[in-house]
Chains A and B, each alone.
Chain A
Amino acid sequence: NAGVTQTPKFRILKIGQSMTLQCAQDMNHNYMYWYRQDPGMGLKLIYYSVGAGITDKGEVPNGYNVSRSTTEDFPLRLELAAPSQTSVYFCASSPGTANYGYTFGSGTRLTVV
């Protein structure tokens, strides 16, 4: 049972480049989330999804896009990367509402130079 799988683990982007952070879960969880964590800080919600075809903005959505075409996958797209997007990105999932708590992926460390 892999849980929540994130790829890549590390990436360096140049300013203006684009990329997609991949997230997949094999637990049949309906709810999925993307958070970013800046050094020494807590987690800030970027986007979340309560099921396939349904997505909603979180606290810091600017510069990002998401899609949810299947229950398993929830990719995060960065368009026109900026240094302010340098962060660690965590994907998480929950079986139902967030009352169950989350299972986190191992994270993607992104540096924009």
Chain B
Amino acid sequence: QKEVEQNSGPLSVPEGAIASLNCTYSDRVSQSFFWYRQYSGKSPELIMSIYSNGDKEDGRFTAQLNKASQYVSLLIRDSQPSDSATYLCAVNGAAGNKLTFGGGTRVLVKP
């Protein structure tokens, strides 16, 4: 079992719709959780971090964490063509000194 798993996609959503991305992790004592956006040929860019159960909203992005079920999700509201990218889920384990990344979900927003 991979430590951090994501559906590779592509997730195709119409412009203006909500994109929903999911990520599961295996280390039950993981401390912190991150979503990175990566455009093709570019480096990952941090867009959301979440540390406790529940929802965290930042603009059009909402991160959701459920530690009991070991999953973290990202919602992108009012999706725009500029949101087309690969979204990487990253998890910080018990040691707290390094992130483990999922394989990424490719999102395509169609006008």
A102 contacts which of B6, B46, B96 (Cβ < 8 Å)?
A: B46
Chain B interface residues toward A at CB < 8 A: 4, 6, 8, 31-32, 34, 42-46, 49, 51, 88, 90, 92, 96-104
Can you give 16 A-B contacts (C-beta < 8 A)? A33-B98, A40-B103, A41-B103, A41-B104, A42-B4, A42-B6, A42-B101, A42-B102, A42-B104, A43-B101, A48-B97, A101-B34, A101-B49, A101-B90, A102-B44, A104-B43
| Contact count band on A | 20 to 34
A83 within 8 Å of B (CB atoms): no
Bound: A45/B101 CA distance, A? 9
| Listed residue (A44, A90, A99) with the most chain B CB atoms within 10 angstroms of its CB | A99
Q: Which residues of A contact B32 (CB under 8 A)?
A: 98-99, 101
Q: Which residues of B contact A101 (CB under 8 A)?
A: 32, 34, 46, 49, 90, 99
Beyond A42-B104, A97-B96, A104-B43: 14 further Cβ-contacts under 8 Å? A35-B101, A40-B8, A42-B88, A43-B88, A45-B99, A45-B100, A98-B92, A98-B96, A98-B99, A99-B32, A101-B32, A101-B46, A102-B99, A106-B43
For the complex formed, measure the closest distance between the CB of A53 and the CB atoms of chain B, giving whole angstroms: 16
Query: B98, A42: Cβ atoms under 8 Å?
Result: no
Q: Which residues of A contact B96 (CB under 8 A)?
A: 97-99
| Listed residue (B31, B43, B88, B102) with the most chain A CB atoms within 10 angstroms of its CB | B43
Query: A58, B98: Cβ atoms under 8 Å?
Result: yes
Bound: A5/B45 CA distance, A? 15
For the complex formed, measure the closest distance between the CB of A75 and the CB atoms of chain B, giving whole angstroms: 18
Query: A107, B98: Cβ atoms under 8 Å?
Result: no
For the complex formed, measure the closest distance between the CB of B105 and the CB atoms of chain A, giving whole angstroms: 10
Bound: A19/B22 CA distance, A? 38
Bound: A44/B98 CA distance, A? 11
For the complex formed, measure the closest distance between the CB of A61 and the CB atoms of chain B, giving whole angstroms: 13
Query: A90, B98: Cβ atoms under 8 Å?
Result: no
A97 contacts which of B8, B45, B97, B100 (Cβ < 8 Å)?
A: B97
